[in-house]
Structure 1
Amino acid sequence: MVSVNGRLVESVPCSDMRPDVQAAKASVDGRVGFHAQLSLDDGDIVRVTTPQGKPLHHSPWLYLPPESDGWLPASLTANHPEYSGVADFSESLAWKRFQPLFGQLGDISAVKFDSGDGPMVAHPGMSPDDAGRIHRFYKRVLTPAGIASPALRHQQGIGERQMLIFDFFPGKPLDRHGPGWEAWLPAVMVELERLQQFGEQHREGLKVRGGRKPPLVNHLFRQALGDALRWDRAHGERRFLLWLVTRLKRLPQVLSHGDLHRENVLVDTERGNIALVDWDRWDYLPVGFDLARLMRGLAGDTVEQLTGGSHAQRLGVVGFTYLLQRHDRPAMVNSEEGEALRRRCRELAGSLL
């Protein structure tokens, strides 16, 4: 399903037969790829999804003319349907040109703009509470702890909304580096360890306040417990799920990013630097959750090898990997991989007794 600026323009069937895809049952009939002719203007946003609404990898796409050098004129925000949410901010900051930046769900989560003193990134449309929490977290944790993250310059309000403005980090998300992205994991783990150490030293001063977004780990626990109570979905793992959730909840609670998927890790390959972004879900969470979410999609034995660390951290990573894998691939539960993960969880838990 192909849409331009939120409007469906056509439904296109996949046309290229791939025997390897068919053998792997990765599509209904083994066909992949499609061809569609579109009439586009500068700044148009193309989204491609399955009929069920699931976006294709790296969708949406932004159309830019070759001569644009990646920038769009700020005047485009005044009447373009995709940029109406940032029009007020562009007027307030006197932007000359901008680039939309997309979040994991394909929405415009931030805007890169030319400030006259160099590129910066604005996150518009926040509530005062959300913006204030992130601002305080930068001031109390990220800056004093020296966590690799773009510097927060200031907070600005327009009407009932707030905007946070950061330095621009010249990198691209870890998820878009293709094969070999795992080479950056040690650098990420260094930052997580620094965050955990700082969080332990200042735990009393970092109490989590009400009104926050609920931790994503809670949703994972609820789903697992719900499946454990439904005989038609538990597939014989009911007792294991109840045991696993109990064990994971008993793990040490460490200061965590809370939403560390690979789109939230930026990598500058030229300078060898990384930056962790989108800290609105920070919390004290079971050790291993951040790493399991970061490595989502990798096999369980691979995840544990890449992680290392204490038995508690290994159990957290392997246990949360199991919960994430069964969510993404329900058939995994009855596979050899699923049995191996369950066995490894029990072994790691036994070593902690």
Structure 2
Amino acid sequence: MKIFRSVNAVQGALDRVSADGVRGWCASSPAVSIRVNGMPYFSAFCHVERRDVQAALGIEKPVGFNVPLRLALGDMVEVAGVDCQPLPGSPQRVGASAWLPVSAAQRPAFAPLEALLKAFGASHFKPFFKRSAELTAVALRGNNQPDMLVKLAGTPAHIADIKAFYRQVIEPHALPAPGLIPPSTTPLPNDYLIYRYVDGASYSAASQLSDSARQQVIQLLATLHAIPGGTLKRENTQQPYWQQLQRQVLRQALATLDIAYVRQIVSMRRLVQRLPTVLSHGDLHAGNVLVDDTEGALALIDWDRWGALPVGYDEACFLRGLPFRQALDYLPKQRDLRLGFAIISFWLGVVQNEQFRTTSQAQEMMGYIEGRL
């Protein structure tokens, strides 16, 4: 699941699309509508148990859907709630792990890729989409080039930030991330971020990863956090997810008119401000962990939000959806790390579901926080 979703956004996810059907969850709506290649196709009720999601949201009602359908390779599938807002993870392509022949670029959804495919001399490609259905990246395969992944949108400041982070952090410390390729060594224009394409499976929640994979990610985060930031600075200093999270938590607390609860949130904010900041991924949900299921190796992708963030932030984002005590057991026994993890986990819960603070999960987090003060 995505790390930050305001309470006003759709609470759900399109987890998987295949030739046999679609699977996901939606807590904002009792049913979902499914469109295929831009045309209405099917509607389904959300009546399947999803214990991982229900535990994270602190609710008992089933929120999952698992819809058998007959779909074709390359079909574009969109799923939305009854209010027509698309679910996170939508749209998805049937056979997203399969390479499409370049002839498939004739479909309207792939029209923006035509010039790029031609410049590369691609024989096959894999498109990747944002939640807004906008193309965000494409993997390219050609006869005389290694497979590459091209990010399609990025300001000069953003591109400079990523290059600096690779040069000063990822490469010298051998962090497992897709290699960055200089555009000058490719037939592509210079205004793209180009990576070596890494094959692997990604998941919508940490609960779907193996215990070994979760442990590996936490160990990698410990390595990352120990790297001194030094003179490393972003040209684009904004950290929108972290800033939005803080604002949304305080707004929701004030809206409750519950003075005791507002004081709790203000106390948490003061605690977080006193925690050390560490070099962080900034967007580490399970979907940004690629797992090689044959060898067990993994890579962290989408480092666009890297920066100095409170200790525990990355861990809270990554382990979200697991029961609090189970997630806590993955962390080193470091007071600041665990305290930051507990506070940010609580905040992530309440911004997605206003009633989360009344659940047993939230009470357990609050008890842990108060016990460390």
TM-score for both structures, normalised by structure 2: 0.78
Indicate conservation of the 8 Å contact 1:289/1:317, yes or no: yes
Q: What residue in structure 2 maps to residue 26 of structure 1?
A: 62
Aligned positions of 1:1-353 closer than 5 A: 1-5=33-37, 7-10=38-41, 12-14=43-45, 24-27=60-63, 32-34=65-67, 43-53=74-84, 55=86, 59-63=90-94, 70-77=98-105, 79-102=106-129, 107-116=134-143, 117-155=145-183, 162-175=191-204, 179-198=208-227, 200=228, 203-209=229-235, 211-232=236-257, 234=258, 236-348=260-372, 350=373
Quote the offset at 1:334 in angstroms: 1.5
Identical-pair percentage: 26
Contact 2:87 2:131 in 1 (8 A): no
Kindly name which structure, 1 or 2, has the bigger radius of gyration based on alpha carbons: 1
Q: 1:236 to 1:106 in 2, by over 3 A?
A: farther
Partner Cα separation in structure 2 for residue 272 and residue 333 of structure 1: 37
**8 Å CA contact 1:152, 1:164 repeated in 2:** yes
Give the paired residue count.
333
AA aligned opposite 1:208:
R
Distance apart, 1:237 and its partner CA? 1.5
User: Quick one: structure 1 residues 280 and 309, their matched pair in 2 at CA, closer, same or farther if it must change by over 3 Å?
Assistant: same
Opposite residue 91 of structure 1, the aligned amino acid is K
Give unmatched runs, 5+ long, in structure 1.
none
Could you say what secondary structure the match of 2:234 adopts?
coil
Deviations 1:154-196 (A, max 9, x none): 2379999822221122211143786453431221122222222
Q: Which moved more, 1:117-126 or 1:314-323?
A: 117-126
- Secondary structure (helix, strand or coil) at the match of 1:230 reads helix
For residues 225-275 of structure 1, give each alpha carbon's deviation from its aligned partner in whole angstroms, at most 9, with x where no partner exists.
Answer: 11232234x585211111111111211000000000111111112122111
Classify the secondary structure of the residue corresponding to 2:62: coil
Query: 2:224 touches 2:280 (CA, 8 Å); kept in 1?
Result: yes
Equivalent position SS for 2:35: strand
1:264-291: per-residue Cα shift (whole Å, max 9, x none)?
1111121221111111111100000001
Give the direction of change, closer, same or farther, for the CA distance of 1:137–1:286 in structure 2 (3 Å limit).
same
How far the C-alpha of 1:75 sits from its partner, in A, is 3.5
What's the CA shift for 1:204?
A: 3.0
Distance 1:338 1:45 in 2: 38
- Answer whether contact 1:297 1:325 (CA < 8 A) is retained: no
Where in structure 2 are there 5+ consecutive unaligned residues?
Answer: 1-32
Structure 1 position 20, deviation (Å): 9.7
Please list the CA deviations of residues 190-215 of structure 1 after superposition, one character each: whole Å capped at 9, or x if unmatched: 222222222x2xx3321233x34434
Give 2:117's aligned amino acid: S
Code of the aligned partner of 1:26: P
TM-score, scaled to structure 1 = 0.82
Asked whether the equivalents of residues 149 and 276 of structure 1 are also in contact (C-alpha less than 8 Å), the reply is: yes
Q: Distance in 1 between matches of 2:104 and 2:70?
A: 24
Cα 1:276/1:177, change in 2 over 3 Å: same
Q: Does the aligned pair in 2 maintain the 1:235–1:333 contact within 8 Å?
A: no
Q: 1:50: how far off?
A: 1.5
Q: Alpha-carbon deviation of 1:73?
A: 2.0
Measured after TM superposition, the shift of residue 55 of structure 1 is 4.7
Contact 1:125 1:161 (8 Å CA) reproduced:
no
Looking at structure 1, the residues matched to 65 and 118 of structure 2 have their Cα atoms a distance apart, in angstroms, of: 43
Shift of 1:140: 1.6
Counterpart code for 1:169: V
